[in-house]
Chain A
């Protein structure tokens, strides 16, 4: 299976909302864009694919990688705090 259990879930659940918002702001522009289209604009994958002009598979993998990247950023911040 390609989709391994996401270790980012535990750090996401523990993080404050403000921490997550700050981490979102530090994401790469492509990841930030796709998360905004999903959670702010409430678009389906097909609609997002049209808006940004990429195949639907690319949208899905960007969404998946955006979550992993967010988890990595949060891990980093938590590491800095220690």
Chain B
């Protein structure tokens, strides 16, 4: 079914590429094109061809036989159509909330399948907690597993190896920074929501402590681990990022006071607990890492494509 759907989408998009290159695709059409371009090398080549044709046609415009401008205008009025270029690629560069939303939706189409995988993992986790958990334990399990699930999602979705988004960014005025930020927002937001839902369910079913205490156990660590995963993924690729996130988290669990598997000096445990908590330090470090990753992203993208 998926293949048939993809084939249908491919045909629909390949018909739209000329309009997209001309900047006259509608908003909905442009979103569909952007989503598909990231996954289809053939359509990217087609678009490049259409862009060359567009430049050629415009530079030979007096030669091209076009109807009287007034006739075109009259037809447009009669058809009740506004000029179609209301959301074209020019606007993509213009920025603004509308643009941010459009990029998010576009990336959602690209990222969707990978997100389902992460979703399935978290759902299995939720089910396991519901089945075996009781009292205080479910919150701890959630706080231990949710950050690493989110970080693995970020690693998979933001790495250059599986990232047609960077090529796409070179073919359109959407910068690699925007694409990366959109993906990070999607994966982090999605995982936060799912984990929040699980927290609500656990508190509702009588787990100890309030909702915010439970959220505090995973939110800061999730942000920090995702930020580390993002920067390693853009720098060294998704596999390294997954390994790094898991190793880092394993070290944290071993060193951390909560699990207390090893005899570690109290000072080290204190520092680890400060860093892996929901506070200004962890969030500050996470934001700093994301900023560095975004600053580095364009250079990496151009390196790879050229």
- By a beta-carbon cutoff of 8 Å, the part of chain A in contact with chain B is 1-3, 5-6, 8-10, 12-13, 15, 17-25, 29, 32-33, 35-47, 50-52, 60, 63-64, 67, 70-71
Contacts and interface: CB of A to CB of B under 8 A. Distances in A.
A52 B75 CA distance: 10
B53 interface: yes
A15 B64 CA distance: 19
A24 to B, nearest CB: 5
* A contact patch SS: helix
B55 A25 contact: no
B84 A36 contact: no
A35 B79 contact: no
Given A2-B11, A43-B84, 12 more contacts: A6-B45, A6-B49, A10-B45, A12-B49, A12-B52, A17-B59, A35-B57, A39-B18, A39-B21, A39-B53, A45-B19, A51-B72
Interface residues of B, number: 43
Interface string B18-41: 110111101000000000000000
A38 B85 contact: no
Contacts of B81: 44, 46-47
Contact of B65 (A20, A22, A32): A32
Nearest to A70: B53
Contact of A20 (B14, B46, B53): B53
A42 B64 contact: no
Q: Is the interface of B mostly helix, strand, loop or mixed?
A: helix
B75 A50 contact: yes
12 contacts: A5-B45, A6-B49, A15-B52, A18-B59, A20-B55, A21-B57, A24-B63, A36-B66, A42-B23, A43-B24, A44-B26, A70-B53
Contacts of A5: 42, 45
A27 to B, nearest CB: 9
Contacts of B24: 38, 42-44
A13 B49 contact: yes
A17 to B, nearest CB: 5
B57 to A, nearest CB: 4
A15 B59 CA distance: 14
Interface string B67-103: 1000110011011010111000000000000000000
A80 B31 CA distance: 41
Given A44-B19, A47-B81, A39 B45 contact: no
A20 B59 CA distance: 9
B22 A42 contact: yes
A17 B23 CA distance: 19
A38 B79 contact: no
A41 B66 contact: yes
Contacts of B2: none
A51 to B, nearest CB: 5
Contact of B64 (A18, A19, A32, A51): A32
B47 to A, nearest CB: 9
Contacts of B55: 17, 20
Contacts of B53: 12, 20, 24, 35, 39, 67, 70
Contact of B75 (A33, A51, A63): A51
A28 to B, nearest CB: 10
A64 B15 CA distance: 8
